[in-house]
Amino acid sequence: MPLLRDILTEIQTLSLEGGWVFWALLVLAFGIAFALLSLWRSLRFPDAPLLDSREWANLLNPHANAADTANTLRSRLRNSVDRSARLQEIGQHLFSTPRRRFPFAFVLIGAAPLVGLLGTVSGMFSTFQGMASPNAASPIDVISQGISEALITTQTGLVIGVPTFIVCAWLKSRFDQQVLAFHRIESQLLQN
C-alpha cells in the first residue's frame, strides 16, 4: 500500500510540474500502448483462413517443425482452382492489418520525443517570463518551475519514445520474418 501511495504522489507531482504537455504525453502513451497491443494481437492471426491461428503461428515460425501443418494446408488448397490467387488472398488476409498499422504506430512513437520537446520550449518560455517579470516576488521560484517543466516533459517524452520504439521494431522484425516464411511456404506449395 505505501508503494502505491508513493507512486500516486509522484505522478501528482510530475503532473503539476510538467504542465499540460505532461498530460498530452500520458494520453499519447496510452495511444501508443493500444497501437502496440493491437499489432501484437494481429501478429497472432486472430481470424486466419484455412488454418487456425495457432497452426499459422507454428507454420510461420522458422524454428518450428511444421510439416504436418504444411500438409494440412496443402490438402485444404488441393480443391482450389487457382492456387496462386488463393495463396495471395490468404497472404493479404493475414498481413494486411499489421502492414497498415505499423506506420501509424511508428508515427505515434516518433511524436513522443517531439511532444516532450514542446514541453521543453513551454518550460523555457515560463523561465524567461519569470526572469523578465518585474513584479514577481520570487523570480527564482518561477524560473525553477519553468526549468522543472522543461526537464520533466523532455524526460517523459524520451521515456515513452525509446522503449516503445524498441518494442515496435521487434514486432516489425517478427512481422517481416512471418511474411518471408509465408512466401517460402507459398513457393513450396506452388511447386508441388
Three-state DSSP class for residue 50: coil
Dihedral sign, CA of 75, 81, 83, 85? Answer: negative
Three-state DSSP class for residue 136: coil
φ, ψ of residue 101 to 5 degrees: the values are -85, -25
The domain tally of the chain equals 1
Question: Mean pLDDT across the stretch 100-113?
Answer: 96
Q: Rounded CA gap, 51 and 54, in Å?
A: 8
Longest dimension (CA), the chain: 85
pLDDT at position 136 is 58
The model's pTM: 0.84
pLDDT band at 167 (very low <50, low <70, confident <90, very high): very high
pLDDT at position 187 is 87
C-alpha neighbours within 13 Å on the C-beta side of residue 187: 5
Contact 161, 168 (CB under 8 A): no
pLDDT digits (tens, 9 = 90+) for 117-147: 999 998 888 888 777 777 656 777 778 888 8
Neighbour tally for 38: CB within 10 Å: 15
pLDDT digits (tens, 9 = 90+) for 25-38: 999 999 999 999 99
pLDDT band at 148 (very low <50, low <70, confident <90, very high): confident
Q: Which domain holds residue 83?
A: 2-191
